[in-house]
Each structure stands twice: as C-alpha cells, then as structure tokens.
Structure 1
Amino acid sequence: MNWEQLLSLKRFGDTHKRLRKEQNETRLGFEVDYDRIIFSSAFRSLQDKTQVIPLSKTDFVHTRLTHSLEVSVVGRSLGRLTGQKLLEKHPHLRDTYGYQMNDFGAIVAAAALAHDIGNPPFGHSGEKAIGEYFSHGNGKRFKDKLTETEYQDLVKFEGNANGFKILTENRPGIEGGIRLSYATLGAFTKYPKESLPHKPTRKIEDKKFGFFQSEREFFKEVAEELGLKKNRESNNIGYCRHPLAFLVEAADDICYTIIDFEDGINLGLIDEEYALEFLIKLVKNNINTAKYSGLQNTADRLAYLRSLAINTLIGEAAEIFLANEEAILAGEFHESLFDKSSYEAQIKDIIKISIEKIYQSEEVITKEIAGYRMLSYLLDIYTKALLPETEDQDSNFTSLVLKSVPKLQHLQEVDSVYEKLIGICSFTASLTDGLTVASFEKYSGLKI
C-alpha cells in the first residue's frame, strides 16, 4: 500500500480526481468530512446512547457522543504527530502532492468522530439483542430466505458495519450517504471484511466485520481506490487495514480505558484511592510529584493523572505506529498498537477493574436486560409489519405501526427480504436509549 492512494480525497459520485494541492486551504476536503459527520442526525443521536451506564441521569457520565468527541480529539493529536514524522520520511507527499501534517490529523479525527455512529442503544448488549433475535428468536424464521452471508450479517449484527451503512447508504433523494472522502471511510473501517468467514484468523482485522452485504460492492470500490491489500483469494472479500485505522483504534482504546475508569470512580463503583494507585502506575515515569502533591482534592488529582495518562499513551501509540509503518503498509502488521505497548500490563489491570466494577455492575446488567427485551420486542413489531408471516398478520395494527415510523415506509417498496431485514435492523440500531423505551411503551400500550 502507498500513502498517495491511501490519502484519496475521492467521494461517492466523483467524475474527476480531487488533488490535494488544488484544495482550498480554508475548507479542506478532510475537514469537510468532520463537519458533515458532526452535523448529521446519526451523530447527534449519540447524546442519548450508552457509553458506560444505560439511561444514566448523572451529568458527569459519558454518553456515546461525549466519548466520540474525546476520541476524535485524541485521534487528531495522534494523526498530527504521526503525520509530521511521515512527511519528514516521505517528503514527496508534501512537495509533490501537497499533503500537510494536519491532513493526517483531520482524517483520523473525522473517522474517530464517527467510530460509534452505528452502535445500537444499550451498548454491546444492543448488538447481541439484535443478533440473537435472528439466531434464537422469532427472526430465525427468515433463515431459509437468505444466503449464508446475509444471515450471518443479522445473527452477528455489527455496529461497525452499521456505521459504514449509515455513512454511505443511498436513501430516497440522497445518494452516497453523507459522501465522506474515501480516505476517511478507509480509516473508519477497523475490520475491512464481510461477515463470513467468521474470525478466520487471529489477526486484528479479522476480529469482526466492517460492512454488510448491502454495502459490499461500494466497499470494494473504496478499497480499490485506496489500494488496500487483499488478504484472501476466496469469494468472501477481506483486506488489510488502512494504516490510519490503527490510530483510530488507538484513540478509542486510550479513551475508553482511561475515561470509563474515571466514570466508574465518579459513580462510586471504584474506590477513589484504589483507582488513583492504578493510574499512578501508568504514569509513574512522567509524573511531576511536586505538582501532584500540591493538588488538594481527589477530583483535581484524578484530572491531572487522566490528562497525563492520555498524553503518555498518545506519545507511545505514535512511536509504535512509526516504528512499524513499513510492516503496516505491507499488510504484515496484525495487532493493535497497544498490544506492543510497554504499558500493556497497567492497561490490562485498569480494564480488568472496569469490567468487574463497572460493566458487570448490578445497575448496568439490570438496564441491559431491560434493553435486550425491548429491542427484541420492537424487532418483532417491525418485522411483522414489513414481512408478515401470514395474511392475518397484515392487520390494521401493523399498518398503524408503519404510519408511525416514516423511516421504515420506503422499505415497503423493497422486494428483497434481506434488504428489508437489514433496513429494519439499521433503523432499530439508530434508536436512542430513551426512544427505545418510549417506542416500547407506545406499542405495548403501557403509555399513551
């Protein structure tokens, strides 16, 4: 792979090549990507989607929106830091093509901003609820009407693939979604493969999948434009990652490791003094002991350690990326950047505590159970409305359901069972936590 292709400014529908040196410096193409994402309704909906605690009423716990903004800020720093060094190593990118350090930062920032845009309500339990509706619930009735890969898209419903769908799918009157540059779409796609084969290797790019069958052909177009290296020769397509996807992943890893941990402390799920000890271990080589000792309360000490930890991990992630750049471009680097971190043990300790004290806390589990049931119920309502099992099910109730959900009405004109089902799943995943509760109460008659 080469940077000239990987930094492509091409967008869906372009009939001419976009050249970096011809870009208007006041509004660069990669910065336009960021603007389009942040003004999209899908991004705004993240303000009411779970990051740590579903339906949390506290004002200091992160939502998917605040998490995404923070990941984007970290990603921008990572991109600029590596971009500066890459231009020193490959000066022709600047001298011949016009690329600047900030271009790398803008691509990573935009991709990081969108990294959770396809996630369902109620976190990862929302993904499982959708998947298990088709593997064990009433959705299993559609299995014989789908190809093996189409069915896999549903039973292993993936927020990353749904994010690619949201960013790129054609809708009535809107072609190509929000039309991001192919460079940003490449950096966004952490798992550039389809849903089958499932985890064919232990390589990081094969851990999950990055696009549904409905977007398969367009993803191939993006991959070919970027020059992504194919990593299998079968009919099931898969590629090596876009190099900047490693930086997007690192930015997310940094934020959820440190900031979810901080949320756990603020919620009282993790003892403050105990938590501070873990953070100190992570930054012990960089801590200013005099400054730290002068801080008078736990909140200030926590903020100082969090800032120092994020800065420390940004610097190390950039160093690891640059040290492995040639292997990454050759498609021979198959792990996350932090798998090579000198702080790996400290990071694992923090994540272990977060799993035990936060993600598996009674409050989280109770709300995830409720969310699981509500999503299964809504999927039943929507699938019976659009794909009734019998003529008897095509009732006035299902007609009223479709009238109440304009975003599903266009699927009535779609012939493909798969297209209808993946459309239903994508719509259900677009619901916020609060709207899921409200929809459940409305259709079940619990609230008028």
Structure 2
Amino acid sequence: MMNWKNLMSSARLGDPKGSKNANPLRSDFEIDYDRIIFSRPFRNLQDKTQVFPLPDQDFVHTRLTHSLEVSSVGKSLGKNVGATVIEKNPELGHLSPHDFGAVVGAAALAHDVGNPPFGHSGEQAISDYFLFSDKARKIKATVSDQEWDDLTRFEGNAQGFRLLTKNQKQGLRLTYATLAAFTKYPCSSSLSAREKSRKSQKKYGYFQADESSFSEMAEHLGLMALSKKELVFARHPLAFLVEAADDICYSIIDLEDSFGLGLVTFEETRDFLAEILGDSYYPDKLENIASDKEKIGVLRAVAINTLVHQASQVFMANEKDILGGKFDQALTDLIPAAPTLEKLGSFSVKRIYQSRQVLEKEAAGFEIIDGLLTAFMEATFCKFYAKERYSGRHRSFYRLLPVDVQFKLDWAKSPYESALEITDYISGMTDSSAVKQFKILTGINLG
C-alpha cells in the first residue's frame, strides 16, 4: 500500500535526502512549476501543433496554450483532492491543498514537452523510420532488443521523462513527486507481460537509457512494484489527475476550436456541452449573449468546471484502491458525463481528427520527420560507426547539427545513445524549425 507522506516527498532527483528550501514563500512544488515554465522544451510548445495547423485567422490552440489550460484544470483537481486527503490524514499537516494542486499543475504543465513536431503523427513518423527504413535497419544489429523497442515504438511520454531528468547538475532537477505525477505509464517499452486492463501499461514512460532515474524516483516515493522480474509500477495517484486534466481539456477545447474553424456547427457544439451540464444547462441565459462564440465560451467554462467536480469525486471514491495499486482506469471513463465524452470522442474522430486540414498536416509531418531522420541518422552513424562510408554529403549534414548536439554525440557510448541524441534534437524542434531545416536539406530553400 502506497502512502501519501512518501508520495508527496519534496526531495529532488539526485538529492534523495532533500535540501532546505531557502524561500518560505515558495514551496518546492511551486519551484518545479517555475522551472518548467522557463525551460526551453516548454517554450518550444508555442510553435507545436495541438490538432490543427495554425490558421491565418481565428485562434486555435497550440501545444503551449493547451498545456497551460491542462495545468490550470490540474491545479483545481489537485486542490480538490488534496483538501479531502489532508482532512483524512492528520500526519499530512505540513501540507496544504495548494501543495497537491502545485504538483498536479507542474506535472500537467510538462505533460506534452516530449511530443515531437506535428503532433502524434510525429511520434509515428519517428517509429516508422526505424521500422521501415533500410538505412535505419543497419542500426538494429548494434543495439539490444530492449533498445530497439525504444526506437521503433518512439513514445512522447518517455521522451518527456528524458527531457525532465537529463543533465541533473544543470537541468531542471524536479521533485520526485512532480516527476511521478508526470509519469502516466510507469513501465518500459519492452515490458513482456502487459496487462490490457491497466491503462498505465497502454504505452510506456521511460527509455532504457533513463532506467536508473526512473528506478530512483519509484523507490524513493514507494511506488508499488507490480513485478519481481521487471521494472514496472503502479501509478503515482496524482498521475490520474494529470491524465484527467488532459482528457477534459482536449475533449472540450478541440470541440471549441473546431467550431471556431467552421468544422462543427454551433448547434452541434452547444448540444454536446449542454449534455455534459445536464440539469445545470439553462438555455434561456444564453439568449443574453449576442455572439455564438461567446455562448460556446461560457458553456465550455461551465462544462470544464462540471467535469473537474465529477473527476474529483471519482478519485476520492477510489482512493483506497488507487493507493493499493488496484485501480488503473481513466477517471473520465467513470464520471457521470462519461457516455457523453465517449460519444464526443467518436464524433471528433470523424468530423475533426480526419478533417482534410488535419490529414494534410499529418502527411507533411511524416515526410519532414523522415527526411530529417534520414539525413542526420545516416550522417551520425557513418561518422562514428561506419567511417568507411562517411561521405562529403554526410559531413555537410552532420555540420548542420547544433554545436551542443555534436558535443553530446562525441560523448555517446553506443549507436543507441547516438540515436537518442538525434531523436532528442528532432523531437525538440518546433513545427516551423522542422519545416525550415527540411527545406534546407532538400535544397528547396537555401536559407
């Protein structure tokens, strides 16, 4: 059984005993939030696609604005749960509901930092390169089966954990609690016996290269081990709230963006939001609002508040099983509004996620990511591991890599580590920088 006192540890990765916070007005968890918001991976989210390519008119969400909103919702969920948990556990008197909100808010703020350009198609494009490229298959013989799983099943969540834990001496050095709340999938890519009933094993949360950091975090917090043979654990309880915040935001906000772009009618959008509100929907009050966009904005705000309340209640109703590692479902699958969200999800796949502008963005993403990986992976592999094939073309491509990436490659100890440095670089690109670099490599744009 996990316990809240250990789970809310403010010690930091690499400093398990913890150091005294010199600023009593800012908690360690609030420091996590500030470190994330000023970091380069978070800043780059401003030019990464959420769902829709950025239009010339009408605001739509980027990964940055989405992450800020998920963080806001996460804070509310954390404070709701924290107030009840502290009331039930007198030994947590040193904590406040705001501490719970700060942990969930910080983890939610970072939840997308590992996503490459062009959304989820970018993840698939990286995996496909290693799976299907004849050139990439040369790497397979040089890595272990577990390392090959990392490369051929590239995962934004694992990439995010890597970004948050790399370079601990000069890096973010987040608290164990925030890192664990961030980790929705506390297992590796090569987990042999995945339990399909567990939402936390649907994907994976760390690369083999980062196993020691993951193990240190899990052991310090007392996460519940689910296997004696493999490094797989039950989720940190607050990870369920981070997931719920993300589920709430993308369900509602993607619908609102689609309405703003004319992909979904006002009536369709209004009716979905009204169904979530149930008896709290008062259509007569909308008549006092002139703009349809403002009407949808008001309904969106109330709908999110409703979902936050419902998810908080489901969490507390299952708190014992969550701490015991028995509960492993999405909170939003169990709330009263779950049938509506499921219906909205099916509607969104047909009308939103398969719209032409989204499909065009995905197709471009596959081409660009593949082109960048082909150029930089081949150049790197030949330079370090097949020097007899290192041509002038490879040399030109390699020199286009940033100096800090070249420095890290000089210190890489294996083809696997070299490959991760390249995927670090490409997944960290913004949409615009990826397009620009691709045009330069293909001779479309000489800069």
The interval holding the TM-score normalised by the smaller chain is over 0.9
CA distance in 2, matches of 1:26, 1:72: 21
Amino acid at match of 1:12: L
1:390 deviates by 4.5
CA distance in 2, matches of 1:360, 1:397: 38
Give 1:141's match in structure 2, choosing from 115, 138, 142: 138
Give 1:205's match in structure 2, choosing from 195, 200, 205: 200
Amino acid at match of 2:165: T
1:396 deviates by 3.1
Compared CA separation, residues 358 and 199, structure 1 to 2 (3 A):
farther
Amino acid at match of 1:244: L
Amino acid at match of 1:168: T
- The aligned counterpart of 2:377 is 383
CA distance in 1, matches of 2:39, 2:101: 21
Equivalent residue of 1:61, what SS? coil
Amino acid at match of 1:35: D
1:414 deviates by 1.6
Length-normalised TM-score, structure 2: 0.95
- Shifted more, 151-160 versus 285-294: the winner is 285-294
Equivalent residue of 2:279, what SS? coil
1:199 deviates by 7.1
Q: Does 2:6 correspond to 1:5? A: yes
- The aligned counterpart of 2:46 is 47
Write out per-residue CA displacement over residues 207-262 of structure 1, whole angstroms, 9 at most, x where no aligned residue. Answer: 1000001100110000000100011122x311000000000000000000000110
Q: Does 2:307 correspond to 1:308? A: no
Q: Retained in 1: the 8 A contact 2:224–2:325?
A: yes
How do residues 294-443 of structure 1 correspond to structure 2 at under 5 angstroms? Answer: 294-388=288-382, 390-391=386-387, 393-405=389-401, 406-410=403-407, 411-443=409-441
Amino acid at match of 1:79: G
CA distance in 1, matches of 2:431, 2:336: 38
Equivalent residue of 1:268, what SS? coil
CA distance in 1, matches of 2:249, 2:144: 38
- Shifted more, 142-151 versus 111-120: the winner is 142-151
Write out per-residue CA displacement over residues 156-202 of structure 1, whole angstroms, 9 at most, x where no aligned residue. Answer: 100000000001112xxx63731000100000000000101267112
CA distance in 1, matches of 2:219, 2:104: 20
CA distance in 2, matches of 1:266, 1:198: 44
Equivalent residue of 1:16, what SS? coil
Q: Retained in 2: the 8 A contact 1:133–1:140?
A: no
Compared CA separation, residues 291 and 198, structure 1 to 2 (3 A):
farther
CA distance in 2, matches of 1:271, 1:392: 60
Amino acid at match of 2:210: E
CA distance in 2, matches of 1:216, 1:102: 31
Amino acid at match of 2:374: D
Write out per-residue CA displacement over residues 402-448 of structure 1, whole angstroms, 9 at most, x where no aligned residue. Answer: 33222320213323111001111121111111111000011111101
Write out per-residue CA displacement over residues 309-361 of structure 1, whole angstroms, 9 at most, x where no aligned residue. Answer: 10000000000001111100000101110121111110011111211111111
CA distance in 2, matches of 1:340, 1:15: 36
Compared CA separation, residues 244 and 176, structure 1 to 2 (3 A):
farther
Q: Retained in 2: the 8 A contact 1:407–1:427?
A: no
How do residues 25-424 of structure 1 correspond to structure 2 at under 5 angstroms? Answer: 25-94=24-93, 98-137=94-133, 138-170=135-167, 175=169, 177-197=171-191, 200-202=194-196, 203-234=198-229, 236-388=230-382, 390-391=386-387, 393-405=389-401, 406-410=403-407, 411-424=409-422
1:101 deviates by 1.1
Compared CA separation, residues 294 and 198, structure 1 to 2 (3 A):
farther
CA distance in 2, matches of 1:58, 1:107: 36
Q: Retained in 1: the 8 A contact 2:12–2:18?
A: no
Write out per-residue CA displacement over residues 56-91 of structure 1, whole angstroms, 9 at most, x where no aligned residue. Answer: 444410000000000000000111111111111112
CA distance in 2, matches of 1:140, 1:272: 50
CA distance in 2, matches of 1:400, 1:127: 26
Q: Retained in 1: the 8 A contact 2:311–2:332?
A: yes
Write out per-residue CA displacement over residues 372-416 of structure 1, whole angstroms, 9 at most, x where no aligned residue. Answer: 011011101111121017545423333333332223202133231
Amino acid at match of 1:154: L
CA distance in 2, matches of 1:48, 1:119: 12
CA distance in 1, matches of 2:126, 2:86: 44
Q: Retained in 1: the 8 A contact 2:5–2:91?
A: no
Q: Retained in 2: the 8 A contact 1:199–1:206?
A: no
1:290 deviates by 3.6
CA distance in 2, matches of 1:288, 1:15: 52
CA distance in 2, matches of 1:199, 1:135: 22
CA distance in 2, matches of 1:424, 1:175: 22
Structure 1 gaps of 5+ residues are none
- The aligned counterpart of 2:444 is 446
- Shifted more, 305-314 versus 411-420: the winner is 411-420
What do you get for the CA RMSD once the two structures are aligned? 1.6
CA distance in 1, matches of 2:410, 2:176: 31
- Shifted more, 139-148 versus 434-443: the winner is 139-148
CA distance in 2, matches of 1:51, 1:14: 35
Equivalent residue of 1:285, what SS? helix
Q: Retained in 2: the 8 A contact 1:23–1:29?
A: no
Amino acid at match of 2:322: I
Q: Retained in 1: the 8 A contact 2:58–2:261?
A: no
- Shifted more, 343-352 versus 112-121: the winner is 343-352
